Amino acid sequence: MAKIAIALGSNLGNRAKNLDLAQRAIQGLTELRIITFSSFYETDPVGGPSGQNRYLNAALIGETTLSSYELLANLHRIEHSLGRTRSEINAPRTIDLDLLFYDQLISTDNALQIPHPRLHERLFVLQPLAEIAPDWLHPIYKQSVLQLLEQKKSAGEPLHPVFHRRRQKQDLEPIFTGKRCLITGSTRGIGKGIAERFAELGCNVIIHGRKTSAQQAIKVQNELKQINPDGSYQRILKDFTDVREVNELITEAWDIGHGLDFCICNAGADTLTEENGQQSFDDKLAKLWAVDVQATVRICREIGSRMKKNGYGVILTMGWDQAETGMEGDSGQLFALIKGAIMCFTRSLACELAPKVRANCLAPGWIKTSWGEQASPIWQKRVKAETPLKRWGLPEDVAAMAAWLCSDDAAFQTGQIMRINGGVIRS
């Protein structure tokens, strides 16, 4: 895979949101993985019409199997989808995406100029890039990005990050302020994405992971504090293959917040990546049954009962968009059985807990979690072919649906299977 560097900028509309949407669109490309993303930097416009708004700028590092020309075409498509119009040079724009580096490629033709010809002159590009790739060597000037930055800074004032790389708090109304939420399996992937969104919305979050994920749980806790320093974030480490530990989780989570407003049962056994993918069908089935089904059912029934006594609560479970339509292979059979059981259980749970407590099931499709990051080119092509929106879903997409289902805007939604899959329809 080729290593790439991309610059992002916006000075029209909600600039932070535009950068966030661009990042999400790039991450959703089936043939690309984002490795890291810089802070946002606010800068004065360079050239163009007078009276322009200031820019927000950022940079990202990724890797891709796309050719340089294919990548550039995709960046132009994303710009167009986000409202970019090309008029005069250096005109204001909702989004600007520049391909800075593609490995050590040098190209000077009209269709593709790389490295970006003005990269070394632009402080607003060099500083975000130096934050995340200081040692990247410019293939023409034979100097690192950090060296180029120091030379440029010596001629003017340095920039400073104006806020953290995630959304500004004021971009999202803190509708969950004071609410308490348990999110199982929230140290990575979809669960982590949900935890981040709920922290942005003001929620106090209980992070859950396995005992072996202690360091990752601390990392997530610190990240949530950066997103919203006013929130409360606790960690509970329990293994769901042990019924005793599942019961301990229920008691501890309920006692920490003196009750729960939301319970999101996201935790699932990994049967796809690394050595987990090499296990036998029967071993995978036993693991999935214990973690995805038995632990989820136990947590939902007990916490749901307590919520019902309190007169309020929302429970979300995790299904699969293809459980009811089917998919070939061992994984298709396993997940149809396991996630199909949870989807049916959730409908009955909703009937039991109504009208005070709502229960719905999230049913993600092709979501770019750790398995999606490693998926072979065959799977990457399949995702793009099957998905009308032509990209991977992201944990943020699932998190947005989870937040809506827990909000008062979804007060008439219960017992529903909510597919988050970019429009995939299988017969």
Task: List active site positions.
Answer: 84, 93, 96, 98
Considering just the CA atoms, what is the radius of gyration of the chain in Å? 23
Closest CA to 120 of 130, 132, 108, 109: 130
* Cα gap 37→78, rounded to integer Å: 17
* Cα gap 212→214, rounded to integer Å: 6
* Cα gap 377→370, rounded to integer Å: 15
| C-alpha dihedral sign at 228, 233, 239, 244 | negative
Q: Judge if the upstream peptide bond of residue 115 is cis by omega within 30 degrees of 0.
A: yes
Q: Are 258 and 234 in contact (CB under 8 A)?
A: no
Q: What's at 410, amino acid-wise?
A: A
* Cα gap 402→423, rounded to integer Å: 18
Who's near 73: CB < 8 A, 6+ residues apart?
A: none
Tell me the residue ranges of DSSP E strands in 78-231: 96-102, 107-108, 113-114, 161-163, 180-183, 204-209
Beta-strand pair 40-43/55-64: antiparallel
Q: Are 19 and 58 in contact (CB under 8 A)?
A: yes
- What is the DSSP secondary structure assignment for residue 89, as one 8-state letter? T
Q: Are 208 and 411 in contact (CB under 8 A)?
A: no
Identify the burial level of 291 via C-beta atoms within 10 angstroms of its C-beta, where 0-12 means exposed, 13-18 middle and 19 or more buried: buried
* Cα gap 125→296, rounded to integer Å: 47
- In 10 A of CB 283, how many CB atoms? 12
Tokens of 207: 């992070």
| C-alpha dihedral sign at 278, 279, 282, 285 | negative
Closest CA to 177 of 269, 103, 253, 261: 261
